[in-house]
Homo-oligomer: A and B are copies of this chain.
Amino acid sequence: MSDEKSFHMSPAEFRRHGHAVVDWIADYYSRIETFPVLSRVEPGEIRASLPADPPRKGESVEAMLHDVEKLILPGVTHWQSPNFYAFYPCNASGPSILGDLLSSGLGVQGMLWATSPACTELETHVLDWLVGMLSLPQRFRSTSTGGGMIQDSASSASLCALLAARERATNFASNQHGCDGKLVAYTSAQANSSIVKDAQIAGLGRDRLRLIEVDQNFAMQPDALARQITADRQAGFVPCFVCATVGTTSSNAMDPVADVGRICREHNLWLHVDAAMAGTAALCPEFRHMHNGLEFADSYCFNAHKWMFTNFDCDCFYVADRASLVQTFTLLPEYLRNKATESGAVIDYRDWQIPLGRRFRALKLWFVIRHYGVEGLQHHVREHVRLAQQFADWIRSDDRFELAAPVPLNLVCFRHKGGDEANQTLMDRLNRSGDLYLTHTRLNERLTLRLCVGQTNTIERHVEHAWKRIQEEAASLP
């Protein structure tokens, strides 16, 4: 593009190299099942293969792609493999990758409406679509008092919710004068550790986050929550926030949102509902019961980047009262002042999140919804749930194994009856084989294997194969 000396890649070069990278990715997905799912490299091995110093002169894209193939790929754990059952899915899909590519190409900043109006408005619009698609409460719509936006992760979403709760409880005194050690928050003992991290970051402290005991299904006990709130008030603390989980990371346990919500309303506490993975299932009416009571929630999130085929990062975060969030975060230095902001007619998403900058993430979500259509998304979610339930049936019918928790959706927690050591051996052998990748948790003090069916391309034959491999390794246990 330059008539001077330039090291930039011209549009013509970009076109040529871009086609090559697209081809590489298409080929990667065609051969993805040939790689061991879990990388086999040792610590330091990748670094040792890289030059100690950066190049003084530029190199070719061909050389870089060669190195991606030879040096990087061995160090990749293949989250997009249909044989990936570890942690939770973190899905990519064709339309999502293309939407993200457009976002990289346009390279806009969406910190303010004015810095690229389409970035803000498409996000607001698609998040409103999702209120209908998941049958979320109407007050989460931007056309009501609330609204949705894309955060990088459920951790950041819950932190923003906690901060808004902190400010509501102190009438913004915490923002002004800092925390005073009196605020307390609540979540279940099975909630994601990010809630503990949030309490630390927000200045409440780990001690002030009460981990409420769970029932035999690993769900929060509302009675215990109510007792703790009362005890805290009596002790002079200021309860401000409850995080209920719809589908815990460990076992997909479902906190009773309606019961928790009534308690929050009674005590005027902010209720945040974290449905990071499970939320996507609400695309299908038959799974929406898990959201019963969501009308009590002040905020809610689920991760389209987990199970809705939209690549990271894409956490969908909703609030019922957007003003509370904006008041928590807004600061308007001179260099960001502009007429649109001052008119009050627009959303400036920087006031809904921790960082200032933000990329055009709505494009990938829009592409995914349009490519699949609501019916396509429902189909694949139903299939994943069906396959997980089938796997649970196989576990139930094999005397060597047992289920370790209810299986409400797509995560199966199970164990070999031979004890922790047998399960550790089983998991290590399976993961080392490269045929599949699954991870573990502890439930009732016992090592428990987790098989999460949710990777974009996982279909029946993959789950069948996983079960076959699990049976084989179980047969050869000492």
Contact assessment for A312 and B107 in the assembled complex, using a CB-CB cutoff below 8 Å:
yes
Collect the chain B residues with CB atoms within 8 Å of residue A75's CB.
116-119, 121-122
Task: Check: A83 CB closer than 8 A to any chain B CB.
Answer: no
Contact assessment for B333 and A193 in the assembled complex, using a CB-CB cutoff below 8 Å:
yes
Q: Please provide the 5 A-B residue pairs with the shortest distance between their CB atoms, ordered closest to farther.
A: A203-B203, A9-B94, A75-B118, A178-B205, A7-B376
Given A175-B200, A201-B202, A450-B335, check contact A104 B101 (CB 8 Å): yes
Closest chain-B Cβ to A326's Cβ sits at a distance in Å of 13
How many chain A residues touch the partner (CB < 8 A)?
Answer: 169
Stretch at the interface among A258-266, A293-301, A437-445, A465-473: A437-445
Collect the chain B residues with CB atoms within 8 Å of residue A15's CB.
22-23, 26
Contact assessment for A371 and B58 in the assembled complex, using a CB-CB cutoff below 8 Å:
yes
Task: Mark A1-30 against chain B: 1 for CB-CB distance below 8 A, else 0.
Answer: 111111111111111011101111111111
Closest Cβ neighbor of A46 among chain B residues: B121
Stretch at the interface among A218-226, A284-292, A402-410, A453-461: A453-461
Query: Can you name 10 A-B pairs with beta carbons within 8 Å?
Result: A7-B373, A10-B94, A18-B26, A92-B105, A155-B355, A174-B205, A177-B208, A180-B180, A313-B359, A335-B439
Task: Check: A385 CB closer than 8 A to any chain B CB.
Answer: no
Contact assessment for B250 and A335 in the assembled complex, using a CB-CB cutoff below 8 Å:
yes
CB-CB contacts below 8 Å: A46-80 with B: 46-47, 50, 53-59, 61, 63-64, 68, 71-80
Q: Which of B4, B27, B156, B181 sits near A179, CB closer than 8 Å? A: B181
Given A23-B15, A108-B76, check contact A47 B373 (CB 8 Å): no
Contact assessment for B114 and A345 in the assembled complex, using a CB-CB cutoff below 8 Å:
no
Task: Check: A43 CB closer than 8 A to any chain B CB.
Answer: yes
Collect the chain B residues with CB atoms within 8 Å of residue A228's CB.
none
Contact assessment for B94 and A14 in the assembled complex, using a CB-CB cutoff below 8 Å:
yes
Closest Cβ neighbor of A194 among chain B residues: B356
Contact assessment for A64 and B370 in the assembled complex, using a CB-CB cutoff below 8 Å:
yes
Complex alpha-carbon distance, A93 and B456, angstroms: 30
Task: Check: A317 CB closer than 8 A to any chain B CB.
Answer: no
Complex alpha-carbon distance, A336 and B10, angstroms: 44
Summarize A's interface: helix, strand, loop or mixed. helix
Task: Mark A194-220 against chain B: 1 for CB-CB distance below 8 A, else 0.
Answer: 101100111111111000000000000
Complex alpha-carbon distance, A197 and B175, angstroms: 9
Collect the chain B residues with CB atoms within 8 Å of residue A337's CB.
440
Q: Which of B102, B129, B375 sits near A21, CB closer than 8 Å? A: B102
Contact assessment for A109 and B90 in the assembled complex, using a CB-CB cutoff below 8 Å:
yes
Contact assessment for B159 and A354 in the assembled complex, using a CB-CB cutoff below 8 Å:
yes
Contact assessment for A203 and B206 in the assembled complex, using a CB-CB cutoff below 8 Å:
no
Q: Which of B108, B117, B174, B459 sits near A43, CB closer than 8 Å? A: B117
Contact assessment for A179 and B177 in the assembled complex, using a CB-CB cutoff below 8 Å:
no
Contact assessment for A9 and B93 in the assembled complex, using a CB-CB cutoff below 8 Å:
yes
A152, A359, A380: most-surrounded residue (chain B CB, <10 A) = A152
CB-CB contacts below 8 Å: A113-132 with B: 113-119, 121-122, 124-125, 129, 132
Closest Cβ neighbor of A157 among chain B residues: B355
